[in-house]
């Protein structure tokens, strides 16, 4: 909520949108991504805490599928992400955000795309949590990886305003693809569509590809690390 009000009412008037359009409409997809991406840090910290406080050890004697702990954690975090998306959406409506000339299903699709990406990132966070020496070191994952991933993107400002070398990084950032794809689905201003990089020309396809790749790599790897920790 703080970032929404900060950028809408303080910085919004100073940030031009290439091609025109409302900064509020441009901003909301970025704010949603910022909240969802950084919230996955809770997965890493939570798993690390459970491991170091002996919570996971209690499951060893139970007749259960061991990976159910990971699946349950990711499902619970997905529900939290849904609540976060609802709050951000309602806040956006309160400050003037409106979808463009698109249908209801397209708007829902934008939220689902964001949630799918957040779910994929929870499995990356799970890997971090399972390999962290302490919950504190797991928390550093957010500051070292997630914050740069969120801010070096088109979430809050058009990448056209960045230095040339940084534009290339931002345009191929998976967060930029997800944000641009959500803006397209919502019918909101999407200046990234003027950029020639493939992910910006095909943001929905690029976002879905990123989600599939992250899930295909991270979920089995997280299960492997969890099984190893359970047998130590």
Query: How does pLDDT run across 63-77, given as a tens digit for each residue?
Result: 666 677 788 888 999
Hunting for tokens 């170091």 — which residue is that? 52
Cβ neighbours of 111 (radius 10 Å) = 20
Helix (H, G, I), strand (E, B) or coil at 196: coil
pLDDT band for position 60 (cuts 50, 70, 90): low
Q: Which residues make Cβ contacts (< 8 Å) with residue 230, sequence separation at least 6?
A: 56, 59, 60, 66
The pLDDT mean for the chain works out to 87
Tokens found for residue 77: 């975090």
pTM metric for this prediction: 0.90
Q: And the tokens for 119?
A: 């779910």
Distance in Å from the first CA to the final CA of the chain: 42
Residue 97: φ, ψ to 5°: -70, 140
Q: Tell me the backbone φ, ψ of residue 195, rounded to 5 degrees.
A: -90, 140
| Residue 112 confidence (pLDDT) | 97
104-154: pLDDT as tens digits: 999 999 999 999 999 999 999 999 998 888 888 888 877 788 888 888 999
């Amino acid at each position: 909520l703080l970032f929404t009000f900060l950028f809408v009412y303080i910085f919004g008037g100073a940030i031009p949108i290439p091609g025109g359009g409302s900064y509020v409409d441009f901003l909301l997809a970025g704010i949603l991504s910022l909240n969802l991406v950084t919230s996955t840090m809770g997965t890493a910290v939570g798993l690390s805490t459970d491991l170091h406080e002996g919570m996971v050890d209690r499951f060893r004697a139970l007749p259960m599928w061991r990976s159910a702990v990971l699946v349950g954690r990711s499902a619970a975090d997905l529900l939290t992400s849904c609540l976060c998306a609802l709050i951000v959406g309602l806040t956006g409506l309160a400050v003037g955000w409106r979808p463009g000339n698109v249908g209801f299903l397209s708007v829902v699709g934008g939220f689902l795309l964001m949630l799918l990406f957040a779910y994929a990132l929870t499995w990356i966070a799970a890997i971090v949590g399972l390999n962290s020496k302490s919950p504190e070191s797991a928390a550093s994952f957010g500051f070292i990886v997630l914050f740069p991933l969120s801010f070096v993107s088109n979430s809050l400002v058009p990448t056209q305003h960045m230095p040339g070398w940084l534009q290339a990084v931002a345009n191929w950032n998976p967060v930029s693809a997800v944000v641009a794809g959500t803006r397209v689905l919502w019918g909101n201003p999407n200046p990234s569509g003027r950029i020639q990089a493939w992910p910006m020309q095909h943001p929905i396809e690029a976002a879905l590809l990123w989600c599939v790749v992250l899930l295909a790599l991270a979920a089995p790897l997280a299960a492997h690390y969890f099984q190893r920790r359970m047998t130590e």
